[in-house]
Structure formats: C-alpha cells, structure tokens
A = this chain, B = another copy of it.
Amino acid sequence: MPETISSERLAALFRPRRIVMIGASERLPHARMVFQNLLEWGYGDRVLLVNRRGGEVYGRPAATSVVELGEEIDVAFLSVPVAAVPDALEEAAAAGIRSACLLAGGYAEEGQAGAERQRELVEVAERLGMTLLGPNCIGYLNAVDVVPLLAAPVERLPRRPGRLGVVAQSGGNAVSIMSLAASQNFGVTHVVTTGNEAMIAMADVMEFLVDDEETQAIALYVETLRKPEAFLRAAARANAAGKPVVIFKAGRSELGARTAAAHTGALVGDDSVIDAVLRQYGVIRVDSFEDVVVTAGLGAVTGPWKRHGVGLVTVSGGMTSPVADRAALKGLELPAFAPETVSALAEALPAFGTPQNPLDTTGAGLEPEVYARCCTIVAHDPNVGIVVSGGHLPPSGADFAGKPWVLLGVTMGPVPETLRPVLDEHETCWLGGIRAGIDALASISDWSVRRLRPEPPAPEPVPVPPQEERTGRWSEHATRELLAAAGVPVVPARLVCTAGEAAEVAAAFGGRVALKIVSADIQHKSDVGGVRLGVSGEDEVLTAYEAVAAAGGAAAVEGVLVAPMREPALELLVGVVHDEEWGQILAVAIGGVLVEVLQDSALRRLPVSETDVREMLAQLRGAPLLRGVRGSTAADVDALVQVILRVAALAQALAPELESLELNPLRVDGSTIEALDALVTWRTR
C-alpha cells in the first residue's frame, strides 16, 4: 500500500472537471444510479459515457473508447467486469485521466485470490500514476462542488452542503450517516466511501478534509484502521485546525472482529489498544451512528470551546432530571449559577421557580420575552461557557453574550421543520435527544481540552546494547543489567555460581533472601522449581542454592540470583510491547491479585509525556491504592512517574528490535520503587 495519497491528488478526484463512465450500461443498477444522481444535480453536461459496443446508454450516445472523446477528463468511473479493469485503467491513463473510482467487489474482501487481484490492481494503478478509490465502495459525494458520484438513491442525497466531512469504509453506513445527518439539519461537505482502501485510505481523505475550508468536523465509520501512522498524523492536523474527528469503529467484540473481517477482508486490531490510542491522540470515539452524527455536527457548529460549563434553560421541566443525570454520568459540567445569576433569575421567574442549573423556566417561560430574558441571564453567568436551550422553543431575542448556544431535543428524531430556518439563520444546531445531545456536549467539551496535545519531549538518551545482541529472550540477570544501566531501579541482587558465594551474598544482604535460577531458556522459573523465597541462615541458603541450581536441568544456566526479600507492598506491572499496527504500546497495571481479578490496566502509545503517565496512573480503577488505603504508605507518584518514563525511554531506544520489556512486579513502597523481576524479548528470534 502506498504510504499516503496527497490532498492535491484527492482534489483532482473529488473536484473533477469532467467524469467518464466506462462500461456504462442499462444493466448495471449502481452505474445507473450514479448517472441519474449526476444528472439530477446538474452535472449531466460534464459526464461522458463509454461502452465498447457504442450505441445509446441512459438515453445518450456512448463513445466506444475514452480516447475517442478527446475531452479533458479527470475521473474515470469504472463499471467494467473485474477482468477488464486493468485494461480500462490503461485506456483511461492513455487519455490523460489521473483518477478512477471502482465500485466492484471481488477483491480483498473475498479471500486470498481476491487479495492477489487487489495487489495487481494497485500495481497497475501505481504504474499508471492513477489515484484509485475503492474497490468495493459506492463512490463519493462532493456536496460543495455538487458532484454526486455516489451509488445511493437520489432521495437519500442531502439537499444542500453543510460542514461535515464523512468518510466510511462501508457504503451503506455512509448513506445511513448522511441521511441521519440530513434529518438533524447537519449538511455534509464530502461523503467518501473508501471500501477496501486498496490505495486511498481513510487517513488520506482526512488530510484532504483538514485542508478543505468548508469542512468543520470529520465523521468516520471504520472497520479496519489502515495506515495507522498517517491516521494519527491526520488526526493531529485536524485537532490543530480545530476540526474534531469523531469515529465509530466497529469490531470491538471478538464476534465483531470476525464479521468485520468477512466484510472488509482485513484483520481488525486489538480493540483496547485502539481505544487507548484514539483517546491519546484526541480522536473522539463513539459507539453508535447517532453519536457520530450528533457529536461531529455539534463540533462543526461550536468548534473547540473557549470556555466550559453548560447552562441549560428549558420550559420543559421534565427535561431537567434526565439532563442532570446524563451530564453527571458523562462528566459534563453544569456549573452552579453565580449569585448574581440566581438573583436575576429569581426576579425574572415566578416565585415557585427554582433558579438552578439546569433551569426550568416553568410555564412562565412560554412567554417568549421571559424565556429570552432567562437565556440572556444564564448566558451572562461567568461560569457558563455555552448555553443549551432545551425543547422546541427557539430563544428568540436573547443576548447570548457572544457565547455559543444550541438547541436540545428530548428524544432523537428529525429536526422539527419549523426550527430549520432558525438554526440556519443563527448558524447553530439541534441536538437530537437528551442521550445523544448530552453525550455530544460532553465529548466536545472534553475534546476541546485534549485536542492540543503537546509533543512529548524527546526521551533522555540511555545506554543500550549493540543491535546484533537484540535477539531472542534475555535472562532476568541480563534484563536487570539493561534496566539498571538505563537508570531504572531494580532490587539489589547478585549473580552467583556456587553455594558458598550464595551464602556470602545472603549474609551480606542480611535477613531473608530469594534465590532464582538465571537462564534465558527457562521461561517460568517457579514451575521448574527454580525459585526459593524467604530463605534465611547459611544452611538454608546452601540447600536452596543446590535445589535451585539443579532445577536448571539441561538448560544453559548463567547462575543463581540472590536478592533480599521485600515486605509486601503495592505491586505494579509496567511493560512496553511492540504492536504491529501502532508501534510501541506502554502498559501500566496494578499487579498482584488485583491485576488478575480486574484486568485493570492503562495503555498509551509511545512516546508519552509526564502528563500522559500521570493520567495512566489516575485512570486505573485501583488508583486509590496509590494514595494508600488502610494505613498503607502512599506511593511517591512523582518518583513512580519518572521510573515509568525511564522504562519508556529505554524501550524507545531499543526500537525497532524490541518485542517486549516487562517489569513485573515493580514494587512501590512510598518512594522506594524497585523492579523485583523483569524480562525482555526481541522480535528477532
């Protein structure tokens, strides 16, 4: 797959001067639908038809070849049989066409033979310098420049352009998103269906949409995230431009992954990694079509919020409880009104009204002047950053103090027709339903804070072993030395090769010690009897040494590690693994019994900043353990963060050979932080 397709190349595809439909015929319902859409939207003059047999198609003469047309054409829409596609591309390229759109299936979504066919297709396109959309898609719709090159029923196309850029791997779902958006009065700029993404992936279209002036927010439906690096770059650019990226990614469940694979012919990545990475890079992940539309729609209207705090005003008293519930659930701030707001509202409302946020204006609010006055008062509250007017009543005549305002419905459904002109006039929107609306407000509020993620500083240099040694699996001893050299604290320990040495070392440590066999060949030391814990006194040490050393059997043994025993304390797991899609992933988890019972971990893609690591620790369900419970010592979080950053720095320095580096457990007792055990493995065996 080519790394990226530039916005310039996509502009040529999405803003064509002329389109030729190659293989157009009455028999093909999709091609016919596309032609009718182009006709209906006034693009008919710029569509040309080619059919090997010539004659008349769709009521107009078709040329027998592209060259014959002699026009400057930008896009070839291919409706030829799969076997004829390469020739059609050749012909189009010969006529100077640089972009093609291929709806047909029969490629990577159909097993190995299909995948091979797709590879050949890309080879041909690349050789010809052609930009190819699809295959297995339904085309695109450019609502700004009025190019509906989309195989969807004409009645489902949007009536007018808006601000939402939509990209979907599934054509049907693209149409669903577009239709729902239209019913919510959200227009689109571009709708692009990417299908199998043989050449143009979602990330490429995102870059195009970031560059597109009309697009204010990007809505995505994804089954398989391809070109992950490019995706994150595009997301960062969108965030910098103040355009939220909202993604509905299917394939969360194992079953979901199975069916997505059947549908798009590609493997679906590990969902928890995707979840963490999307959040880390400021991409808003939602889990329904409704949320994609409402969240992106809201973000397109408000952009990033300068001030937070929602002030909700409604005549529908029944809305206040569900709104407050949902806001609390989603962490959306509904701040208490300032005293001056409360007294002003008390004056504006009947005695029985309660001047609190969310505000029920009672029946009195049915008077437009009273309602407008309430909205004005709330908008001027210093704690309020955005005003939400709940219900069907447009807040006519209110002064919103330059702050954004939107309307919120009780339930999801089409925008009431009477409200559409109001929304358009004020360039605002209707949020369809308390659930979707409050969720969208919470997401955009959160995104406004998170979107500008500072580039993590370059990690401090750490000493690393020569590349040629980075193979296989290293012993605990070798891993300990690697960590120690990098400044990661490890429990003091000594490698010994005789029982006498072991006894000497144990005596020097004093108290109880642990003896562990050291061998790169032995994965589970305990299982083979290679570990003795809580050994004390010379006799016990001598006996334990012999037992542990004997456990090595035929394995290549480096020696026996003698380390002082530690009292029970909080144990963490800190690890970095190489993910084929996303690169190095840092994992932090509460260790011990909790990690097994709760699967309680936080993930981030490297590099990370100090802030990222603090967030990771805070998001653990077991986070209270770090603050100390039942009189146990609170962890020195500052020191812990530095240790984790050091592990991350080491992992980065060991890329790309590193497969995994794991400290388990990392013992945390106040500011005494030490790895008690560690393991490194490399991608080359």
Contact = CB atoms under 8 A, between A and B. Distances in A.
Interface of A: 105-106, 109-111, 114, 168, 170-173, 176-177, 179-180, 183, 221, 223, 248, 250-256, 258-260, 262-263, 287-290, 293, 316-322, 324-329, 334, 352, 354, 356, 358, 360, 410-414, 433-435, 593-594, 596-598, 621-622, 624-625, 629-630
Contacts of A334: 255
Count the copies: 2
A412 B290 contact: yes
- Would you call the interface of chain A mostly helix, strand, loop, or mixed? helix
Nearest to A353: B262
A105 B352 contact: yes
A325 B256 contact: yes
A221 B434 CA distance: 14
A262 B360 contact: yes
Contact of A253 (B263, B287, B319, B328): B328
Nearest to A250: B321
A111 to B, nearest CB: 8
B413 A183 contact: yes
A258 B622 contact: no
B411 A354 contact: no
A324 B259 contact: yes
A478 B588 CA distance: 47
Contact of A321 (B260, B433, B621): B260
Given A413-B180, A621-B597, A290 B630 contact: no
A594 B317 CA distance: 41
A412 B176 CA distance: 10
Listed from nearest, the 3 A-B pairs whose CB atoms lie closest are A253-B328, A170-B318, A250-B321
Contact of A288 (B106, B176, B433): B433
Contacts of A596: 624, 629-630
A237 to B, nearest CB: 27
Contacts of A354: 262
A107 to B, nearest CB: 10
A258 B321 CA distance: 8
Given A433-B289, A629-B593, A318 B172 contact: yes
Contacts of A111: 352
Contacts of A171: 318
A259 to B, nearest CB: 4
B289 A411 contact: yes
Contact of A263 (B180, B320, B414): B320
Given A262-B320, A262-B354, 13 more contacts: A173-B316, A176-B410, A179-B411, A253-B324, A255-B327, A258-B356, A262-B356, A287-B435, A289-B322, A293-B411, A412-B412, A413-B413, A598-B621
- Which among A105, A320, A321, A412 has the highest number of chain B CB atoms within 10 Å? A321
A289 B109 CA distance: 39
A635 to B, nearest CB: 14
A593 B288 contact: no
Given A289-B411, A325-B250, A598-B621, A352 B106 contact: yes
Contacts of A329: 252-253, 287
A171 B248 CA distance: 35
